[in-house]
Structure 1
């Protein structure tokens, strides 16, 4: 199918390719249109295929319906030029409306995700700030005890080590928890993004 060659540079990951197949009768040139349609579907260009029959009888329509099915597309039969033009216009309009919907939903999702990331960062930055302040105050208290000879040098060293070990471990645990929450948020974002893309693909091919 020539469309497959023409669309080869435009892979489906980054493009929306619409293919119209308009026919006024069954295949008579010895080719295999169903195999060609299936090949197009599996080619990686993610085509949106619309097969249009022009005033066909039931037998001819059946083959075109099979072609549409093989390509993962739709079939419509029209009676005249006006109906054919209307079908083109409707398909393009529907495609643009769903494209606008997809872009809008992804934009809103991205904003929501960024807000979630900012909220997580704000919570943990506040947590780290409080821990740093608390650590500083305890360090100051231990130092004052040593200055006033309320504790020995060995006791000071032990207390300072306990303080450092405690806050180092606490910071590690807080960072790990932050990482877990960020990963959960990222997974939720990707799941919702995939859902948007699935809804778009389902409706754009119907």
Structure 2
């Protein structure tokens, strides 16, 4: 019998060596050649070695270390291979690992012929158990679907939202020479003033307003650059809106010089410094038609204004601005925690600064809840965590039941003990699999519930705005 076994081993080694020379790529697994070369690395179980009690609860099984033979001879990636790659594990197990089990396991049973079924199970887990459960179990229990409710604006503008808190509105008016340019027969400055006066006239009584003009002195020449860049003046002190007083302030300046955009924001910061965010909502509106021309850093000034204790929000309305100006002003608004809008005519200006925000019909129709690719990703991500975990459990159970069959075949355990050990292995496998499936189902239900809630809110929002826009069209 030994001679035949030796012939079989030599034949198998020869086949594996031929396979190694093949051009076809193979998964990187340990072969019998490797096992033979590394034979000394598997320390046999000593006759007097104390075999630890095998895990019998979910908590214990999650924390159990890898079996000695599994740890020594099985690559973790092979053991946990997903179902779609089942051949990786199957081929290694059938071609290599079963032979290792058949060689290594009998010795301890031969030296301990009177072990109980529980003790045999303990020994087999000690040799064949998986030690990877926690690697996948922890991500499974921590799994989050990742669905996020999209932003669904409700049509309120800055001022309506601000009614809930004492509000300060500071308007910084660009009065540089470029604001003299005409649109439809009127200067940018004239059109901007008209829109701002209408805007301020609609403010609630308890909202404080202030007006500053900047760059309104000098003639835009190099000789008067310093004068112009330092001209940032309060023309309407912070307080309740008064139509006559505000109109007088608006009439007191005209488009003239350079553009100290950064300096204007620094002035607003200083001006609002006593109005902290806990008690006041501070909003800065900048009306400008171009970039900084006074060598300041408007992005840094906007960020400092927004990040300060007053936490002012910087909104910028770019009036008929070229591409270079739009890029800078948009960056400044983002740094100031606000929004940038560009307008090219009076009606657009009115819509940006006065009217409530309303979506277009295209925005309403195209708005979605949880998108298909998000749903697919969520399901794939959950399966990718659960699948290896389920396979580890099933493969541990199969290794143990196959080992029992081999030990029974070699008459090292009788039929009764073989049946008892097999039942224990199956019971533990079912306990693990049921627990893992329960968590997966729970996570799946949480994702479905979140998806349904998001979809329902989006649909309600779409119905509301569809009705609103249809009324406007009529």
TM-score, scaled relative to structure 1 = 0.42
TM-score, scaled relative to structure 2 = 0.20
- Structure with the bigger RCO (C-alpha within 8 Å, sep 6+) is 1
More helix by share: 1
Decide which structure has the larger Cα Rg and report it: 2
